[in-house]
Amino acid sequence: GYLSPEELRATVQVLSASGGGVVWDAPYLFTILRLTSKGARFDKELLQENLNEFKEIASKYHEHMCILSSLSKTCLIAGLRFGFAVASKQWIDNMDAIIGRENLSSPTPSFIAGTEILKRFLQQPTSYEWICQVLAARLSLLMEEIGEHLMLPGNGLFGALYAAVLTGRTSSKEFSDRLIRDYGIVTVPGEQFFGGAANAVRLSLVAVPWSEGEEAWITSVKALKDALAKLAA
């Protein structure tokens, strides 16, 4: 998925003019890729242009916005589940009143580690560049091998750590079950993301550990291609 600065600005303008506000869930803010006919590509200048526009919008409408994000995605530390909210004091005070501090995460070792990672990321926000390069390479291989089965944005931009894979006439639940049973590949059925019946599964682009040469990822994609030929016909 991808939300453009233009779409965000238009949404905030309408709601702020009516006395409302926007809660923007932006965990993939730093993982924007450009899609081409030859695959996916990490365009650093494109990402920076988008970030600058997002900053300008947030600065202008900060009293009407709450931005949710996650180091779990940005720094690839999903096991820590470290998310946070950025908003005006009024928004944060309201959140504290509703949630209650006693329900928030206590300073566990993982919380302490996440805090340190956030501090270092703010000091030198570059870790996402390597992640984007890995994502681009992995998505490019998927596009080359099973491109006709991928559900990709039509605007030429991609921003996520997963890809939606179409399962043809096979239901996503049946496809997902057979995929893990026969091929050892784990996916998530699409029903919970589409709000109903769906012939698509969600495939993580980062669950397979990275290694030099990406043999494990290449092997998994080849197996997925074989599975699609047999199960999604």
Domain boundaries, the chain: 5-123, 161-231
Q: Give Cα separations from 1 to 61, 99, 107, 209, 231 (angstroms).
A: 23, 29, 33, 23, 26
Q: What is the pLDDT of residue 103?
A: 56
Q: What pLDDT is recorded for position 128?
A: 82
DSSP-derived 3-state class of residue 191: helix
Tell me the per-residue pLDDT of 56-69, one tens digit each, with 9 for 90 and over: 999 999 999 999 98
Is the distance from CB of 26 to CB of 67 less than 8 angstroms? yes
In tens, the pLDDT along 105-130 reads: 566 777 788 888 888 888 887 778 88
Which residues have a Cβ under 8 Å from the Cβ of 137 and sit 6 or more positions away?
40, 214
The CATH number of 5-123 is: 3.40.640.10
The b/e string for 113-138 (b: 16+ C-beta within 10 A; e otherwise) is ebeebeeebeeeeebbeebbebbbbb
- Give the mean pLDDT per block of 10 residues along the chain (233 residues): 85 94 90 92 93 94 92 76 87 82 64 84 82 94 96 90 93 94 94 86 90 93 95 83
